[in-house]
Amino acid sequence: MMRRILLIAIVGAACWTARSGAAVKVDEPAVCYNCHSDAQAWSAKKHVHTAFSSGVCSDCHNPHASKHNVLLAKEVKDLCLTCHGDLRVQLGEAAVHGPAGSGECLACHDPHASDQANELVSSTKELCAKCHQSLGTWLAQAYVHQPVKENKCGACHAAHGSPNEGLLKNTVPGLCFGCHTRDAAMASAHQGFNLERADCRTCHDPHGASEKSLLMANQHAPFKGGNCSACHRTEAGSNFALLSDVKPMCGTCHKQVLAQAEKPHSHNMNDQHSCMNCHNSHASATTFLLSAPQSTMCVKCHFNQPAEREKGLQAYLTHDGMDCSTCHTPNVSDNARYLKSLDVDLCVDCHVEAHKASHPIGPDVIDKRTNTPLTCLSCHKLHGADFKPYLPLDPAMDLCIQCHRR
């Protein structure tokens, strides 16, 4: 009987406290450690998050219930920005780091403590290499840029957002001149070229290279031979201006490409920068003097609309990272979207057995939606499809009823 009376008294007191609005004092973090005993050891790490060291776990976690993972009071990004409001400006810049933009703060940071600076979940080298797999390739080069060698990605790149391409902390060449002194030796190495307007990346790899001075290995023949006058004016005061506009300049040697420039589909050929939209004029780390690998270079222009960025780049990079030029001609084409072919031949070179015993395709099979011959592209959307294998609609029914209706 006494136990029943005591229970009623306790419940009554709790209800009175709730109705009166009186705060219930809880000994944080001690009460949390009753269950989360492993959390006590985090305080011994080299770098402890201020929110954790304060001992008020309820600043980030709701102790009773939450619609967010691990009882967080808000979504991770919103929660972090309540204290780190200065990052809002960076997240509004032209270039935003993928995890930061999508609110995946915990992909890089431990919310409690770490032995790494800035509460990073691992060393900079290991952390960046998880996504930027080319880091291993750079480190294996004969010549490695000092910041890369020392795992100081942050010396050149902003971690969250930047107004500059590639999340650079400054524009080039200003960023480079932060470490490299413009002296007589540098002027001599560049044959007197005014470096104030230079894009160092057209000759040097900023991470690692097989050539001294980080020169990229695949070099344009005139550049490699030191024959600047083949493309540039070299007299005093000319500052190495081009002998002519880009397109006719390149066409003096690459006549075959120039001759095809009037085809129905001409990729950047008539743009002011023409060939230089995709090619470096001096040196490159890739074939054909491309300014970057195709999977990186092409998406600078393609798949960068707001809706596409929201979906994620990986949804558009198809065929296991195959080069874009496997299916598309990079310069000129008779076909829309620069496809090498519009018929089935484009696909059956690789997919030899496709649809031989299933859905008919070919010139004698007409797509009821377009009254044109049914091809692979009638059903498959090769970039950004929502269903496997590269289908834009659910193959269980939605795709089929586009044509097969009662």
* pLDDT tens-digit series, residues 95-116: 999 999 999 999 999 999 999 9
Rounded to whole angstroms, the Cα distance separating 187 from 168 reads 25
Retrieve residue 126's tokens: 């290991």
Task: List the one residue out of 150, 122, 120 whose CA is nearest residue 135.
Answer: 150
If you average pLDDT over residues 367-371, what whole number do you get? 88
pLDDT tier, 11 (very low <50, low <70, confident <90, very high otherwise)? very low
Residues 6+ apart with CB under 8 A from 223: 203, 281, 282, 283
If you average pLDDT over residues 10-34, what whole number do you get? 65
Return the higher-pLDDT residue of 5 and 72. Answer: 72
> Which ranges of 184-315 does DSSP label H, i.e. alpha helix?
184-189, 221-224, 246-251, 255-259, 294-297, 306-311
Retrieve residue 376's tokens: 């692979």
Retrieve residue 330's tokens: 């990079």
Q: What's the pLDDT tens digit per position in 283-341? A: 998 999 999 888 888 888 888 787 787 777 778 888 887 899 999 998 889 988 899 98
Retrieve residue 224's tokens: 């490699």
pLDDT (0 to 100) of residue 17: 44
According to DSSP, residue 257 is labeled H
Rounded to whole angstroms, the Cα distance separating 40 from 37 reads 6
- Map residue 133 onto helix, strand or coil: coil
The residue ranges of every structural domain in the chain are 29-121, 239-339, 341-406
If you average pLDDT over residues 364-385, what whole number do you get? 88
Instruction: Kindly tell me if the per-residue pLDDT of 22 is higher than 70.
Output: no
pLDDT (0 to 100) of residue 33: 95
Rounded to whole angstroms, the Cα distance separating 186 from 192 reads 9
pLDDT (0 to 100) of residue 13: 41
Residue type, 25: K
**If you average pLDDT over every residue of the chain, what do you get?**
88
pLDDT (0 to 100) of residue 109: 97
- Map residue 285 onto helix, strand or coil: coil
Give the helix/strand (H/E) hosting 127.
helix 124-131
If you average pLDDT over residues 160-172, what whole number do you get? 96
Retrieve residue 180's tokens: 């490299």
pLDDT (0 to 100) of residue 6: 36
Instruction: Kindly tell me if the per-residue pLDDT of 12 is higher than 50.
Output: no
If you average pLDDT over residues 120-135, what whole number do you get? 91
Instruction: Kindly tell me if the per-residue pLDDT of 356 is higher than 70.
Output: yes
Cis peptide preceding 360, ω within 30 of 0: no
If you average pLDDT over residues 65-76, what whole number do you get? 95
Task: Count other Cβ atoms within 10 Å, centred on residue 253.
Answer: 14
Q: What's the pLDDT tens digit per position in 209-261? A: 999 999 999 999 999 999 999 999 988 888 899 999 999 999 999 998 888 87
- Map residue 77 onto helix, strand or coil: helix
Retrieve residue 25's tokens: 């004092």
Retrieve residue 392's tokens: 């834009």
- DSSP sequence for 329-373: -SSEESSGGGBS-SSTHHHHTT-TTTTTTSS--EEEEEETTTTEE
According to DSSP, residue 215 is labeled B
pTM, full prediction: 0.74
Rounded to whole angstroms, the Cα distance separating 106 from 69 reads 12
- Map residue 41 onto helix, strand or coil: helix
Which phi and psi (to 5°) does residue 110 adopt?
A: -90, 130
Task: Count other Cβ atoms within 10 Å, centred on residue 148.
Answer: 22
pLDDT (0 to 100) of residue 20: 47
| % of the chain exceeding 70 in pLDDT | 94
CA distances from 365 to 360, 368, 377 (A): 7, 9, 13
Residues 181-217 as b or e (16 or more Cβ within 10 Å = b): eeeeeeeeeeeeeebeebebbbbbbbbbbebeebbbe
